[in-house]
């Protein structure tokens, strides 16, 4: 029986409880589990580079994805551009992403505490001390790492560039 793309993607997108069981299985197999999180609104080369580098830090990569409700609180009412189901499907379609989980809080602390990955990763614009969940992961024997961003790429800057190229009368 052939499995379609939709089913493959659904197998990668899960709730925190189901993912916790998968993570424990992976860890029992001796695999290092990496966790990172973000909005990932308009997927661009900066995201791809960051996520692919994160994946190389361990054996399995989990991406925590901000739900639409938290994106609106963090980024403003006009965000996200793409809804959480679309963003989750795009992330799940990346071969180096093993799992995607959506969280509704403004930060991933509860999710990190539930999953307790081996390696927590954020962009190098954060210091290890300021990364949410770092203290908890380190106390559990895990590691926290940072990855440099590809300069010049961000969803916010892409959205602004698009807005600046559209006449005002078309935006309203």
Backbone angles phi, psi at 48, to 5 degrees: -60, -40
Alpha-carbon dihedral 25, 30, 31, 32, rounded to 10 degrees? 110
CA angle (115 as vertex; 112, 120 as ends), nearest 5? 50
Classify residue 130 by its DSSP letter: G
CA–CA gap between residue 139 and residue 152 (Å, rounded): 35
Give the pLDDT confidence of 97-127 residue by residue, as tens digits.
999 999 999 999 999 999 999 999 998 888 8
Which segments within the chain are labelled E, that is strand? 33-38, 60-66, 99-103, 119-123, 143-147
pTM value?
A: 0.88
- Please state, rounded to an integer, the average pLDDT across all residues of the chain: 90
Residues 17-28 have a mean pLDDT of: 97
Name all domains of the chain by residue range, CATH numbers in brackets.
5-171 (3.40.50.620)
């Amino acid at each position: 029986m052939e499995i379609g793309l939709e089913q493959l993607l659904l197998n990668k997108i899960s709730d925190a409880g189901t993912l916790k069981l998968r993570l424990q299985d992976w860890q029992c197999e001796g695999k290092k589990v990496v966790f990172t999180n973000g909005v990932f609104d308009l997927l661009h080369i900066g995201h791809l580079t960051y996520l692919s580098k994160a994946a190389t830090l361990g054996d399995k990569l989990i991406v925590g994805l901000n739900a639409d409700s938290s994106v609106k609180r963090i980024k403003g009412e006009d965000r996200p551009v793409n809804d959480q189901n679309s963003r989750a499907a795009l992330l799940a379609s990346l071969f180096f992403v093993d799992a995607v989980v959506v969280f509704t809080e403004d930060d991933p602390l509860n999710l990190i505490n539930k999953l307790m990955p081996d390696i927590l990763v954020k962009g190098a614009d954060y210091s290890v001390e300021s990364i949410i969940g770092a203290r908890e992961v380190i106390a559990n024997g895990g590691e926290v790492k940072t990855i440099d961003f590809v300069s010049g790429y961000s969803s916010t800057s892409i959205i602004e560039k698009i807005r600046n190229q559209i006449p005002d009368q078309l935006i309203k």
